[in-house]
Amino acid sequence: MVAPIRGLAGAIRRSFISFSGARVKPNFCPLIEDIEQIGEYSWGSGTLANLYRQLGMASRADAKQISGCLTLLECWIYEYFPNFRPPTVKAHVIGEPWCMRWHIADVVYWTPFGPNVARDVEKTLHHGTIRFMDTIESYMSDRVLRQFGFRQIIPASPIQPMCGSKRERKIVSYKVRYESNDHAWSIPNVHRLEQTYYGHRADPAWEVATDYMDWYIPRTHLRVDPSTDLLERAEPSPVPFVYDIT
């Protein structure tokens, strides 16, 4: 959840100041009204919300590039999929960006941020929405319990948006609106998953509940077909904000 400092600083600088360096976008002005409170803002969740939105827009057929804090995305890939990492290995040093730390592991490293990240950073077990300016995205930690060291269970239904995106290919049509629920952010017992819900620690790290695979298999693609034969297009989901991979 902690955004890489260098990538975050660059993203803020590019968004905050025009290319000429002489003008500031007015929609950022409310953020600096109380300059003493800036250090208390949840910059990490804001960066994550913005990245989620940019990933959604990049999935459109006419998308040619992606915005957002790509250092954070790159760090996530390196941490979870060691085979994609650069050869450099360096222990993390307190005060340096997390993305400068890589470890050697095989295939998937389920708990790259430590076995007790949910205890050390309680907001990681937030379940609800996260926001960056007017961008609000869902954050459903019960779907990735193994990255916190817990056994994966059948998650709750997806958080439904107030307004879903249309099934069009163009990026400009990608507009999803979620309820912000900002008032719940500072009240842990309202938004945080309780241990009585997610249960036991995973042993081994990829452990799942006994009924999880029966739930998961009908909802995923078990294999990727490398053939060049034309495939029938899957029927669109009856739920307008759920997109099928075809």
Closest CA to 135 of 76, 196, 68, 193: 68
Position with higher pLDDT, 172 vs 33? 33
Q: What pLDDT is recorded for position 12? A: 47
Give domain status of residue 145, yes or no.
Answer: yes
Strand partners of residue 129: 138
- Count CB neighbours of 118 within 10 A: 22
pLDDT higher than 80, residue 100: no
Give domain status of residue 241, yes or no.
Answer: no
Q: What pLDDT is recorded for position 208? A: 92
Domain residues for the domain of 210 are: 5-219
pLDDT higher than 90, residue 179: no
Residue 242 tokens, joined: 């759920």
Q: What percent of the chain has pLDDT over 70?
A: 68
Position with higher pLDDT, 202 vs 88? 202
- Which whole number is the average pLDDT over 172-176? 76
For the chain, the domain total comes to: 1
pLDDT higher than 80, residue 84: no
Tell how far CA 184 is from the center of its chain.
Answer: 19
Give domain status of residue 165, yes or no.
Answer: yes
Give domain status of residue 64, yes or no.
Answer: yes
Give domain status of residue 225, yes or no.
Answer: no
H helices of 59-151, where? 70-80, 117-120
Give domain status of residue 231, yes or no.
Answer: no
pLDDT higher than 60, residue 6: no
- Count CB neighbours of 231 within 10 A: 9
pLDDT higher than 50, residue 2: no
Position with higher pLDDT, 186 vs 227? 186
Residue 28 tokens, joined: 């950022």
- Which whole number is the average pLDDT over 206-227? 82
Can you count the helices (H) and strands (E) in the chain?
A: 7, 2
| Rounded Cα gap, residues 153 and 218, in angstroms | 15
| Rounded Cα gap, residues 47 and 7, in angstroms | 10
Give domain status of residue 61, yes or no.
Answer: yes
Give domain status of residue 155, yes or no.
Answer: yes
| Rounded Cα gap, residues 229 and 184, in angstroms | 50
* Confidence band for 246, pLDDT divided at 50, 70 and 90: very low
pLDDT higher than 80, residue 187: yes
* Confidence band for 143, pLDDT divided at 50, 70 and 90: very high
- Which whole number is the average pLDDT over 34-52? 85
